[in-house]
Amino acid sequence: MKRILFVCIENANRSQMAEAFAHMYGGDKIEAFSAGSAPSGKINPKAIRFMAEVGYDLNRHASKSLDNIDGAFDAVVTMGCGDSCPWVPAKRREDWALPDPKHLDDDGYRVVRDDIANRVKKLLESL
């Protein structure tokens, strides 16, 4: 089983969606996590709404701290938020440089969501 960690500062939008897509596309072959250096404590309602459009319920997720993450990973992916990620053992590291969808309109948010979906698919194929 491959382990992936998606990291963003608040762990409320991009990293949560990436974790969700990894669960959707990776099934039981992937162990996916997301976390942030300064977690907001809640998932952004927009992320919940726009993931529901693709059939995933983000209500079951929680905004988590990097302090609660342990173990080694096959891949650690930052979302382009300039997060100061502590050292997490990983075979591979990527930064996706995604815009923060928090203040985007609905169409803009969907563009970021769909970009994340495509990137997760490619990441899983490459692992």
Catalytic machinery residues: 8, 81, 85
Q: What is the DSSP letter of 94?
A: E
**Would you say 46 and 10 are in contact if contact means Cβ atoms under 8 Å apart?**
no
The Cα–Cα gap between 76 and 88 comes to 8
In one-letter notation, the amino acid at residue 21 is F
Q: Which two tokens stand for residue 21?
A: 């897509």
